[in-house]
Chains A and B, each alone.
Chain A
Amino acid sequence: MKHLIRILLAVSVAAVVAVPAFADLQVATSLTDLASVAQFVGGTHVKAQSLCRGYEDPHFVPAKPSLMKAIQHADVFVSTGLELDGGWLPLVLPGSRNPKIQPGTKGFVDASQGVQVLEKPSGTVSRAEGDIHPLGNPHYYLDPKALEVVANHLADVFSRLDPKYAEDYRENAKKFDERMEASLKKWQEQMEPYKGQPIVPYHKNFIYFIDRFGLKEFGNVEPKPGIPPTPRHIAELAEAMKGSGAKVVVYEPYYKADAANEVAKRAGGTAVEVATEVGGLPGTDDVFSKFDVLVRSISTALSGKSGGQK
């Protein structure tokens, strides 16, 4: 019993010492892209952090207790929505013991609200098709226009929670939109020569990028979403690519480079490692630089001048 009292005393003393840092709004997000947008919109009034790192597969984030700890005092939690974080968020959110950010409260934000969702399954949803997302493709953060929707949504949320800076949040969101529109124009010019050209993403997460920039998806290195590539699928995909003109395979840092490289090698094409999330590769520190690097990598690969694996 004395031992237990000592432990409780030690915890209580440490609790007084370890006072959490305070800012106007502590914002936590599922994805680095959402944290980047939140930081732009929030400016100096917000401190945004992402639970998933940019080089980590957003489907498979381990529900570490340290993530629960990280959001114990958050004022806002921004979920990607569309069940991308559905595997780990149901453990992390209640584990945080933070009543302010539980689903249904003012501090919980589903960032997909208002986004035009692609690939919504019609008819019966079955896992025979792999690890599909029943609410639609959740990788909308690969469309710059979708991030404008997120920015305006977050400005509304921040304004409600922190009305004294509402004008700043709306002004920041407006600036974000303007900068994104200008950047999008530049990226579309870079991608213009490659309209209609096919690419082969590792996972089925490029559809928003493909749709925005007028590319075509030839196939995926994964035979079905979430199912690892088999030697047979790699051989069949590479064979099919040979006669189609599809030469570029793209994969993220968290996917198996060997399989992507093998497909590209057999098809006589190029495999390029790209960051689809902020922080996935060096130089992708915010959503703008992420798209800068992504557009440059893909356009270079499509031009046949890529330094990727051949």
Chain B
Amino acid sequence: MSRRIILVAALLCLPALAAAQDTSTGPSSSMFSNLANPAIGVNALFTGQAAPNIDQAYGLGFDEAEISLISVVDPYWTFVSNIVFLPDHTIDPEEVWVRSTNIPSVQLKLGNLRGTFGKHGLLHTHAFPFVQAPIVMSNTIGNEGFKDAGVEAAWLTPLPWFSELTAGAYQSVGLDDDHPLDFGSTKHDNVPLLGHFKNLVDLNDATTLEIGQSLLTGHGADASRHSAYGADVTVRNVPARNSNRHGWILQGEYLQKGVATGGDYVREQDGGYASFQYRFSQVWWMGVRGEQARNSFTDFVVDETGTPLPATVRRGSVNVAWTPSEFSFVRLEYSHAKADAGIHPSDDRLLIQMSYTIGYHPAHAY
């Protein structure tokens, strides 16, 4: 009897369920609009390396895949994110921040930022001018620059040329692979601070001169003040009549990391590079770079047991890149390095790198 009642009840409910399904297919298609979806882009980077001094098989490897999502949040904020998928199956929310340009002459950024420090440190991996980042980077502010949660305000001053003063405050983070600067003090007043001053002038119709100074400072787990300093100069030429066929970039940058204990400042690592990039057609670029890093670690400077050693390292690199479109490139790079410590007094390596981008990808910063 009870089964019959359930069956009849179920049969009576069927039209209602069908009607419910009908209505759910109707409004749902317009209820969840995708018109405000973010602009989406994906970049994938692959590198092959032949380095006799490194304990690693030759061959092509996957570096990273970066998904970028950009959209307007509301009339007050724009949302920018770059989520990086790494070969060790981890995901790095490299940049997740919001930007406001509602304050005249001031750009406010809030979130997980790439700190405005130096010149090379502002670049995404696929925008590096050379396959290998300068050695000084991973020994001072981080191989891919200083990235952390914080807030930055960049004031475009009323001077007649582009003159920008940036101030930032970041969360305290201890030492790890991404953070060579020790900001690990847990004291409540430990707020790592950033300062950046950038000036750019047009020397003529095609050439610009840019000069930048950077400072990053905070307290470490040892309660000492740890700081990084940077200075950069860039002269860039983009001829207006050949803006996508010719041009060159001459750039130099110096970075230093140190610690102040009891009023005495001790320089820990420092170094810099000078590079020249030349575009000789719409699809071909070449570059040459010389660099030095003192008291620094790099992959081929190790002792007999494989333990990394600090050394003064000098390295020269030369590369050539083929960019058949704005969305892909292949480049070949050779580097020769010398170190004053470790079991390998010199290092030679050959690298090939491929980059592919799909979807939305705005131009990189000038």
Given known contacts A64-B208, A98-B101, A254-B241, is B162 in contact with A104 (CB within 8 Å)? no
CB-nearest residue of chain A relative to B101?
A94
Provide the residues of chain B in CB contact with A64, threshold 8 Å.
Answer: 200, 202, 208, 238, 366
| CB <8 Å contact, B101 and A99 | yes
Least Cβ distance of A83 to chain B in Å?
10
| CB <8 Å contact, B283 and A87 | no
Q: Which of A68, A104, A131 contacts B72 (CB 8 A)?
A: A104
Given known contacts A60-B244, A97-B105, is B161 in contact with A131 (CB within 8 Å)? no
Chain B residues 282-319 with CB under 8 Å of chain A are 282-283
Tell whether B163 is near chain A: CB-to-CB under 8 Å: yes
Least Cβ distance of B301 to chain A in Å?
35
Give a binary string over B201-216; 1 marks a CB under 8 Å from any A CB, 0 the rest: 1100100101000000
Provide the residues of chain B in CB contact with A18, threshold 8 Å.
Answer: 158-160
| CB <8 Å contact, B362 and A90 | yes
Given known contacts A20-B158, A63-B366, A228-B282, is B325 in contact with A127 (CB within 8 Å)? yes
Least Cβ distance of A117 to chain B in Å?
19
Report the bound CA distance from A18 to B158 in whole Å. Answer: 6
Least Cβ distance of B251 to chain A in Å?
15
- The number of chain A residues with a CB under 8 A from chain B is 47
CB-nearest residue of chain A relative to B163?
A11
| CB <8 Å contact, A228 and B283 | yes
Q: Which of B78, B159, B197, B242 contacts A94 (CB 8 A)?
A: B78
| CB <8 Å contact, A99 and B103 | yes
Q: Which of A19, A61, A63, A86 contacts B158 (CB 8 A)?
A: A19
| CB <8 Å contact, B195 and A4 | yes
Least Cβ distance of B335 to chain A in Å?
28
Report the bound CA distance from A11 to B160 in whole Å. Answer: 11
Provide the residues of chain A in CB contact with B105, threshold 8 Å.
Answer: 72, 97-98
Q: Which of B106, B208, B243, B282 contacts A66 (CB 8 A)?
A: B208
Report the bound CA distance from A91 to B365 in whole Å. Answer: 7
Given known contacts A11-B163, A68-B162, A99-B102, is B243 in contact with A62 (CB within 8 Å)? yes
Given known contacts A69-B161, A87-B363, A256-B245, is B101 in contact with A53 (CB within 8 Å)? no
Q: Which of B240, B324, B325 contacts A56 (CB 8 A)?
A: B240
Tell whether A187 is near chain B: CB-to-CB under 8 Å: no
Chain B interface size band reads 35 or more
Give a binary string over B176-203; 1 marks a CB under 8 Å from any A CB, 0 the rest: 0000000000000000000101101110
Tell whether B104 is near chain A: CB-to-CB under 8 Å: yes
Give a binary string over A67-98; 1 marks a CB under 8 Å from any B CB, 0 the rest: 01100100000000000001110110011111
Given known contacts A4-B195, A254-B242, is B156 in contact with A131 (CB within 8 Å)? no
Chain A residues 31-85 with CB under 8 Å of chain B are 53, 55-57, 59-66, 68-69, 72
| CB <8 Å contact, A99 and B325 | no
Report the bound CA distance from A217 to B363 in whole Å. Answer: 31
Chain A residues 287-310 with CB under 8 Å of chain B are none
Least Cβ distance of A251 to chain B in Å?
12
| CB <8 Å contact, B242 and A97 | no
Provide the residues of chain A in CB contact with B241, threshold 8 Å.
Answer: 55-56, 253-254
Q: Which of B156, B197, B243, B325 contacts A72 (CB 8 A)?
A: B156
Provide the residues of chain A in CB contact with B164, threshold 8 Å.
Answer: 65
Chain A residues 103-134 with CB under 8 Å of chain B are 103-104, 127, 130-131
Tell whether A240 is near chain B: CB-to-CB under 8 Å: no
Tell whether B326 is near chain A: CB-to-CB under 8 Å: yes
Provide the residues of chain A in CB contact with B157, threshold 8 Å.
Answer: 11, 14-15
Tell whether A102 is near chain B: CB-to-CB under 8 Å: yes
| CB <8 Å contact, B243 and A57 | yes
CB-nearest residue of chain B relative to A254?
B241
CB-nearest residue of chain B relative to A105?
B75
Provide the residues of chain B in CB contact with A19, threshold 8 Å.
Answer: 158
Report the bound CA distance from A131 to B325 in whole Å. Answer: 8
Tell whether A9 is near chain B: CB-to-CB under 8 Å: no
Q: Which of B99, B160, B362 contacts A87 (CB 8 A)?
A: B362
Tell whether B327 is near chain A: CB-to-CB under 8 Å: yes
Report the bound CA distance from A66 to B201 in whole Å. Answer: 7
Given known contacts A11-B163, A97-B107, is B362 in contact with A104 (CB within 8 Å)? no
Provide the residues of chain A in CB contact with B281, threshold 8 Å.
Answer: 228
Tell whether B45 is near chain A: CB-to-CB under 8 Å: no
| CB <8 Å contact, B243 and A227 | no
| CB <8 Å contact, B363 and A102 | no
Given known contacts A11-B157, A19-B158, A65-B200, is B244 in contact with A98 (CB within 8 Å)? no
CB-nearest residue of chain A relative to B164?
A65
Least Cβ distance of A145 to chain B in Å?
29
Tell whether A226 is near chain B: CB-to-CB under 8 Å: yes
Report the bound CA distance from A91 to B366 in whole Å. Answer: 9
| CB <8 Å contact, A97 and B240 | no
Least Cβ distance of B100 to chain A in Å?
9
Report the bound CA distance from A282 to B190 in whole Å. Answer: 61
Least Cβ distance of A69 to chain B in Å?
4
Q: Which of A59, A69, A96, A253 contacts B244 (CB 8 A)?
A: A59
Provide the residues of chain B in CB contact with A23, threshold 8 Å.
Answer: none
Interface contacts beyond A4-B195, A87-B363, A254-B243: sample of 4 additional A-B pairs, CB < 8 Å, sorted by A: A18-B160, A56-B241, A87-B362, A88-B363
Q: List 14 A-B contacts (CB under 8 A).
A: A18-B159, A19-B158, A61-B243, A63-B366, A65-B366, A90-B362, A90-B363, A94-B101, A96-B101, A96-B156, A97-B101, A97-B154, A131-B326, A228-B283
Query: Which residues does B use to contact A, with CB under 8 Å?
Result: 72, 75, 78, 99, 101-107, 154, 156-165, 195, 197-198, 200-202, 205, 208, 210, 238, 240-245, 281-283, 324-327, 358, 362-363, 365-366
